């Protein structure tokens, strides 16, 4: 392999490939929903894997803790989240690397959906990438703790912290927003990003703190699942 080919491959690998993949998958799913009855149709949402407690509790469709992060309710919801994913995801992926970024995105989404299942409105149907996006915001907050002497990162952290605060305040006054999913995704992002650290800079992350963060993440989700099933009378 010649030098030019090697450099071309390196340039390609530096692109936010996982972000592009997530955008493509989510777009295909959204268009599929639109073509099969509309993304604002409750039955279509349930059919495609939205968060629906009845299906989880009584039909044991536990994959619904995963699938809602790829679904959206209406064009505005879809476009806003995809624009956010493109800009924020590209930045987080460039710092954490491809596979760490993917884990942060997916595990934050699962965390948000589990916490929403336990503490959210019992009869609601929820969907959206917001659980994962809040996880990406959490990943940036973690960078601010470990790279506080980097002015660029500190500036970005301040922007995201402000955005998170404003967003959560507005969530309190909107009955259509799954605030527990957002909070769960944020907590998931903070913990998963702490556990994974940043490639080639892992010395900035204390190994004991990383292990503890991973344990807390698993313990938190386990407790939430137990509480959720107890809440609906399926566990004694």
Rounded distance, CA 70 to CA 29, Å?
A: 7
Whether residue 236 is predicted with pLDDT greater than 60 in this model: the reply is no
Whether 182 is catalytic: yes
pLDDT tens-digit series, residues 53-91: 888 888 889 999 999 999 999 999 999 999 999 999 999
Query: What is the SS3 assignment for 31?
Result: helix
Per DSSP, 52 falls in state E
* pLDDT cut 70: percent of the chain above it: 89
Whether 132 is catalytic: no
Residue 94 class from Cβ within 10 Å (0-12 exposed, 13-18 middle, 19+ buried)?
A: middle
The catalytically annotated residue of 52, 132, 182, 194 is: 182
pLDDT of residue 223: 95
The angle formed by the CA atoms of residues 25, 26 and 28, to the nearest 5 degrees, is: 65
* pLDDT cut 90: percent of the chain above it: 57
The catalytically annotated residue of 130, 132, 146, 194 is: 130
Whether residue 173 is predicted with pLDDT greater than 80 in this model: the reply is no
Rounded distance, CA 41 to CA 160, Å?
A: 32
Of 4 and 222, the structure prediction assigns the larger pLDDT to 222
Rounded distance, CA 24 to CA 30, Å?
A: 10
Sign of the torsion formed by the C-alpha atoms of 229, 232, 234 and 236:
positive
């Amino acid at each position: 392999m010649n030098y030019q080919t090697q450099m071309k491959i390196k340039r390609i690998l530096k692109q936010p490939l996982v972000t592009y993949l997530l955008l493509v998958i989510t777009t295909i799913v959204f268009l599929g929903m639109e073509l099969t009855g509309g993304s604002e149709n409750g039955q279509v949402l349930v059919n495609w894997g939205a968060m629906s407690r009845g299906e989880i509790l009584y039909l044991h469709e536990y994959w619904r803790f995963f699938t809602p992060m790829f679904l959206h309710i209406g064009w505005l919801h879809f476009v806003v989240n995809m624009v956010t994913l493109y800009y924020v995801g590209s930045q987080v992926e460039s710092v954490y690397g491809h596979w760490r970024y993917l884990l942060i995105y997916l595990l934050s989404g699962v965390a948000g959906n589990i916490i929403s299942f336990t503490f959210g409105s019992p009869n609601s149907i929820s969907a959206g990438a917001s659980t994962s996006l809040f996880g990406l915001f959490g990943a940036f907050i973690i960078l601010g703790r470990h790279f506080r002497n980097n002015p660029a990162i500190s500036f970005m952290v301040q922007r995201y912290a402000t955005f998170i605060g404003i967003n959560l305040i507005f969530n309190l006054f909107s009955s259509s927003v799954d605030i527990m999913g957002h909070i769960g995704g944020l907590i998931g992002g903070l913990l998963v990003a702490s556990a994974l650290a940043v490639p080639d800079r892992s010395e900035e992350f204390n190994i004991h703190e990383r292990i503890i963060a991973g344990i807390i993440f698993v313990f938190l989700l386990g407790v939430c699942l137990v509480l959720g099933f107890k809440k609906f009378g399926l566990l004694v």
